[in-house]
Amino acid sequence: MTGDDRLTVAAVEQTTVDVRSYVLTSHRPLRPYEPGSHLVVGLDGVRTCYSLTDDGTAPDAYRISVRRTGRGGLSDALHDTVRVGGQLSVSGPRSAFPPVPHARHHLFVAAGIGITPILSHLGAARRWGRSCSVVYGYRSGAAAHLELVRRLAGADLVEAPGRTALASAVAEAVERQPVGTHLYACGPRAVLDLVTDRCAAAGWPPERVHVEHFTAPDLDAGAPFEVLVRSSGRRLPVPAGVSLLEVLERDGVAVDHLCRTGVCGRCRIGVLAGTPEHRDLVLPAALRDAADRMYPCVSRAGTAELELDL
């Protein structure tokens, strides 16, 4: 599926007090997807990424789980307006949090609604017989998909009710892993920081730690800079508080994009000269210094000018 597609809401399930799961179907065959993939859902011009919860091998439906935030926004709008039989505009699935097939062991860490991509990974690990274990942190009584996680993970699950329990479960899991383990974590930023800090302290190579943010951080406005568009030779100023993607669009330069929050990786462009300041959540740790590419929806320039391969 490329571009937007209309999917039918075949079922809505109240998974916990504030989480609803949506089963989306189509009259056309649904494309398989990598574990950890997300669907981009659009409603009234707003687009948000939601993790798909199945393993993706032969999907009969696309399933997402959405937590009501109470702050408005698309998630709350889905809860308020989407009913069985309705339609949703989606694009994807897109993969930005895939498993590493050659890992010797897979350690999954989920906090709260961050269980959604981890559930997908867990299902795939079971399907392919990959060695894995799960740490699931949740608030008591509000753990989405807990029964399914228990059934799939069995004895390989550590449940951590509350942030303190999660911190110690993560600390213990990180220190006990065999060489060659890859870790995958999804949850609020504080939990992801905790995981990456713990891994760093335990001497994990950053290439083996994979994190999926489900909320993009608020970014500062940044300093103004200039870009040179190679194909047209045009020089465009990028003011503070305005994204490079917006500047390019206003000048008529088409850049494929989806999330506008540095999460999905769709808007990647090539950089020919200058040094980008990466503010996205896509580039893996080993590539944070890469000067040949950037995600213009959030990233800016570390030099006064960038030359873009556009």
The contact set with another protein (CB under 8 A) reads: 1-2, 31-34, 37, 56-58, 93-95, 98, 100-102, 127-129, 207, 268, 284, 286-287, 293
How big is the CA angle at 92 (ends 89 and 98), to the nearest 5 degrees?
145
C-alpha separations of 266 from 28, 64, 279 in Å: 24, 20, 14
Q: Which is nearer to another protein, 260 or 268 (CB)?
A: 268
Q: Which is nearer to another protein, 57 or 303 (CB)?
A: 57
Specify the residue, 69 or 131, whose C-beta has the smaller distance to another protein. 131
Nearer residue to another protein within complex by CB, 77 or 100: 100
User: Shortest Cβ distance from residue 34 to another protein (Å)?
Assistant: 5
Using CA atoms, how far apart are residues 135 and 169, in angstroms rounded to an integer? 7
Residue 222 or 265: which CB sits closer to another protein? 265
At its nearest, how many Å lie between another protein and the CB of residue 118? 18
DSSP state of 52: B
Closer of 208 and 260 to another protein (Cβ):
208
* CB 55, min distance to another protein, A: 8
Inter-residue contact 17 to 142 (CB < 8 Å) = yes
Q: How far apart are CA 242 and CA 301, in angstroms?
A: 12
Give percent helix, percent strand, percent coil of the chain, each to the nearest 5: 25, 30, 45
Nearer to another protein, 135 or 183 (CB): 183
CB 129 → another protein: shortest distance, Å?
Answer: 8
Residue with smaller CB distance to another protein, 1 or 167: 1
Name the minimum Å distance from CB 14 to another protein: 30
Q: How far is the CB of 1 from another protein (least distance, A)?
A: 8
Question: What is the full DSSP assignment across 169-230?
Answer: HHHHHHHTPPTTEEEEEEE-HHHHHHHHHHHHHTT--GGGEEEEESSPPP------EEEEET
| Inter-residue contact 146 to 80 (CB < 8 Å) | no
Query: Distance between CA 62 and CA 3 in Å, rounded?
Result: 16
Give me 126's structure tokens. 């079971």
Over the range 256-285, which residues count as b (16 or more CB within 10 Å of their CB) and which as e?
A: ebbbbbbbbbbbbbebeebebebbbbbbee
- Residue 19 near residue 76, CB atoms below 8 Å: no
Cβ atoms of 180 and 105 within 8 Å: the answer is yes
Q: At closest approach, how far in Å is the CB of 207 from another protein?
A: 6
Minimum Å gap between C-beta 194 and another protein is 24
